[in-house]
């Protein structure tokens, strides 16, 4: 079975939606949850920036050590099936790889807490924003601040690069724009 980019995108968007839809609360003492169990959804988005405005081409160039002007604008897309009407996703694809960034600006605090509980010991806690996670086995970073959750994932990264450091650099840049 050939796995297409569209199939991978659908899986990523579904992952974001499932995380946002989850209603469980973190258990005490479980996993690297950096968000309190009392985090509740706020009807007001924590940002009006899209995923393509939270991570920009120059961020990607810096994270990957590329020449300036190498990375163009991303392709922003609404996340139609999310429980967060303000959610968006941005994608970039070029000879350096394929990157997807998703933002959940209204229910991100709850989604982050739920993700931290579900990921448990698979996730490495990072000291970025109000709490962030790196999940090595899926190559994904979760970055949380206020009601905003930003998910960064290189779906393809060409060359001898590993995605951890570039993902963390992009998540940090996005959190700094909030």
Average pLDDT over residues 19-31: 38
Res 40 pLDDT > 70: no
Give the count of alpha carbons within 13 A of 51, CB side only: 25
Model confidence at 43, in pLDDT bands (50, 70, 90)? low
- pLDDT value for 44: 80
Strand runs labelled E in 38-116? 75-78, 88-94, 97-104
Between 4-18, 64-78, 102-116, the lowest mean confidence (pLDDT) is in 4-18
Better-scored residue on pLDDT, 40 or 126: 126
Domain ranges in the chain are 5-177
What pTM value is reported for the model?
0.77
- For the CA atoms of 32, 7, 163, 24, what is the dihedral angle to 10 degrees? -10
Res 32 pLDDT > 70: no
Between 36-40, 104-108, 140-144, 150-154, the lowest mean confidence (pLDDT) is in 36-40
């Amino acid at each position: 079975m050939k796995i297409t980019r569209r199939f991978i995108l659908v899986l990523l968007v579904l992952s974001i939606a499932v995380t946002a839809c989850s209603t469980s609360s973190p258990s005490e003492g479980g996993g690297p949850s950096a968000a309190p169990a009392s985090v509740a959804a706020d009807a007001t988005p924590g940002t009006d920036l899209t995923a393509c405005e939270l991570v920009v081409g120059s961020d990607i160039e810096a994270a990957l050590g590329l020449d300036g002007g190498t990375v163009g604008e991303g392709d922003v897309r609404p996340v139609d099936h999310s429980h967060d009407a303000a959610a968006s996703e941005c994608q970039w694809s070029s000879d350096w790889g394929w990157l997807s960034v998703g933002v959940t600006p209204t229910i991100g605090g709850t989604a982050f807490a739920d993700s931290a509980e579900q990921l448990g010991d698979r996730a490495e806690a990072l000291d970025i924003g109000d709490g962030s996670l790196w999940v090595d086995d899926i190559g994904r970073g979760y970055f949380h601040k206020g009601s905003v959750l930003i998910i960064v994932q290189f779906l393809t990264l060409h060359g001898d690069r590993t995605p951890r450091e570039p993902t963390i650099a992009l998540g940090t840049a996005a959190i700094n724009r909030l």
